[in-house]
Structure 1
């Protein structure tokens, strides 16, 4: 519950963006700890920079879709988003599913992304990839 509360609080802090014409390119990002991504994306949102997804953006990296305004994200033909359920490290060092955090994360994604995830069987331990025409139908191409 603490994780979910922190996750929701961090996302709610992502209000108001400044104006900027700078760009940030994302490629080859395999994800990591959610908190680190929320911190990074809070700064990106505040900067008003455009986010160019130009390769792999997997796991926690995909939180960018929930935190950066839709009109500040563009995709290239190389863009590839990887989604899976959230997990925590258990006492024995093994990955343990976190269904509550997974539900919270899922609810944060834009509706088109949620519908696509649902059509793929939902967020599970198996990584699913959104790319190509399906992704290009959701986000505008980078110029």
Structure 2
């Protein structure tokens, strides 16, 4: 039985999100205790840049932790390739600390892999994390669905600067 099965059917979404937050904290503690720390996998230790390059995404909770660490690190995020699924949470980094190159593409879809309530909570959390311009683009595309919807460089560059060499 998952934690989502224990929630009353009429539980407000905010209660579900608080439960998701507790789950994220537990995941962070468990990961840190087994590995010593949660590592940013694309970070270059010799630079102040974090490269998002051909990332297919993965578990929303793990990406939420990575993004939180990245925001606290004050690193510049460089989108240099495909970024799909949970990877798109990197778009929640302040726009003043992000840039893109011409081949950057962002792929969005509904979260899956959990039960219905967990997937809905993950989708709500992701949408609330995105900047307004990303939410507007998703709405213009008909919202999140099971099919990946790709946002190209031409749209994203209206909001994110080109990366300087």
Once the two structures are superposed, what CA deviation does each residue of 1:47-72 show, in whole Å capped at 9, x if it has no partner?
A: 10000000011100001112x11111
Worse-superposed segment, 33-42 or 95-104 = 95-104
Larger Rg belongs to? 2
Q: Give RMSD over aligned pairs.
A: 2.5
Once the two structures are superposed, what CA deviation does each residue of 1:120-141 show, in whole Å capped at 9, x if it has no partner?
A: 1110101011112111112111
Q: How many pairs are equivalent?
A: 129
Give the gaps of 5 or more residues in structure 2: 5-14, 25-46
The structure with the largest helix share of the pair is 2
Worse-superposed segment, 116-125 or 41-50 = 41-50
The structure with the largest strand share of the pair is 1
Q: Match of 1:28, SS?
A: coil
Following superposition, which runs of at least 4 residues in structure 1 exceed 6 angstroms of deviation?
none
Q: Output the TM-score relative to the length of structure 2.
A: 0.69
**Following TM superposition, by how much is the alpha carbon of 1:46 offset from its aligned partner in structure 2, in angstroms?**
1.2
Give the gaps of 5 or more residues in structure 1: 11-20
Q: 1:5 to 1:96 in 2, by over 3 A?
A: closer
Residues 85 and 97 in structure 1, CA contact (< 8 A), matched pair in contact too = no
Q: Match of 2:110, SS?
A: coil
Counterpart in the other structure of 2:99: 74
Is 1:85 equivalent to 2:115 in the alignment?
A: no
Q: Match of 1:140, SS?
A: coil
Query: 1:1-143 residue pairs with structure 2 within 5 A?
Result: 4-5=17-18, 7=20, 22-66=48-92, 68-89=93-114, 98-143=119-164
Q: Match of 1:122, SS?
A: coil
